[in-house]
Amino acid sequence: LLLRLALLVLLRPTGAVTLALQGGGIRALASDAGLVAGIARVSHLSHQSYNESIYTQSGDSDQTKIHTLNVMRVLQNFDTVSSVSGSSWFAAELFFSNSFVELLKGIASSPLTASVQFDQQWIQLWLLATDVQEPKFDGIQSLVRLWVKLLLGTGDEDTIFLAQFFFATGLSWNHFVDVLLKSTAGISADRQMGSAPVSGASQTWLVDHTVLLPSSGACIRQGKLIFPRVTYGAAANGVLPAYLPAKFSIKLDSGTSSSAPVSYIALPDEPIQFNFRGLCLGCGSASSGALYVDMANGSLINSTGVLPVVQTVAASSAVFGSAIGSFAFSEIAAQLTAEVAVWIGTKGFEAADELYDTLQSHVDADLMSELGKTAFHALIDGGFSDGTGIAQAVSAGASEVVVVLNSFSTNQPEYVAQLFQGGTVVKPAVPKELFPVFQSPSASAVETAFSEFETLKLHRNSSHLKVIAFGKIQATTAENKFFGIQGGHHVTLNIINI
């Protein structure tokens, strides 16, 4: 079965094929790392005709047999990688960090020490860099648990821990992701999307995220006593969802002068205007005027090569960013002095960050005018539109998708099922009008298919891994204007659920 799982990834299907990596914070990153390392090991040993070694878990003989292993070979049959949230952390490290690729090679070489290697060469480096003190971590637990539950519905323990850890660092979300990528993979804040990747990385990378487009009330600044308060809203000719799917895209190794190979949003011809309002003496209001293509009149997609890796990935993973759309959540964030969204405008990430920082010290009419001129707005986690990466993969033209999911301790179908006719939207804030992505089969049929997936027999010493299930679903697309998907196309989903 493990060999079949490797072949599922390595044998090239017909048509455009995409690897879709579901979000899920560090659980997603760790699951992706283990899967890629495991498939690299199995496929390499099989290719070397050491079939008996597939069932040998450790020992010096393994390491001598596997010294020529190439982790990046796992990706050779994929045209595109579509990543969300924590899996965008993984993709960034896989594409731009030789040390992270070496870690995966080490895990492939010695599976029984995988958890020790990952702890020493990833987790401990991150913990050391963030330097979170236990009293501060414990002191905000009750408030964070309530905040996550209200924001995301049933708050799972992974998300609660991440929120608690994030707030305890005292960092902005941008800086939080910056520290993570720098400490664990050596990716600096000035690393650009078009810069040279690791050897063997040549795919088109879709960094899936969501543009926050409320009609009004998205908080840019809120004082601890409410005032001053600066908010924005968005308007268009047609009805827009508050959360609009979007994706940065880059053809890896295409250079810093490269532009985006794939549309940023599915409504490039829809004029979108940002309106800003200040609740403070002399603040007034401002508007951006009509914007097209990428809500920056093309300036972002035409300069994709120079966009910073850290901030594109931070946008994809800003899981708490939707809080700025609520007065109550904004007030709690202000009490915690937390910056939870990623900001952007027509002048890019850096200029938006500088404007945001200036607004935290004072607000005046000139700054309000600058908000309008630069179309200042927030980007948040891709999970607020589609956390699986499937919809953006199909939007980019995929007819075959290998989907890597990370569930808790069971083979959960819910995040895939919501994409199908009759599905239930999982997160309470996600707009229902974003779905369905597929008209057939039905969501209930997808849930039945998941229950019939094959599962691997796990190693007797497995302590964290509970399930690896895999199966295939033949789907037909629905007409979906917000993802830019035409109806009636056949798509094969090869699903691996960890």
pLDDT tens by residue, 369-410: 999 999 999 999 999 999 999 999 999 999 999 999 999 888
Supply the pLDDT for residue 288.
97
Token code pair at residue 479: 């007409």
Determine contact, residues 10/17, Cβ cutoff 8 Å. Answer: no
Average pLDDT over residues 287-299: 96
Give the up-direction half-sphere exposure of residue 25: CA atoms within 13 A in the CB hemisphere. 17
Average pLDDT over residues 293-308: 96
Supply the pLDDT for residue 394.
98
- What are the angstrom distances between the C-alpha of 263 and each of 87, 131, 248, 301, 329? 21, 39, 8, 8, 32
Could you report the per-residue pLDDT of 421-448, keeping only the tens digit for each? 999 999 888 999 999 999 999 999 999 9
pLDDT value at 65 more than 80 = no
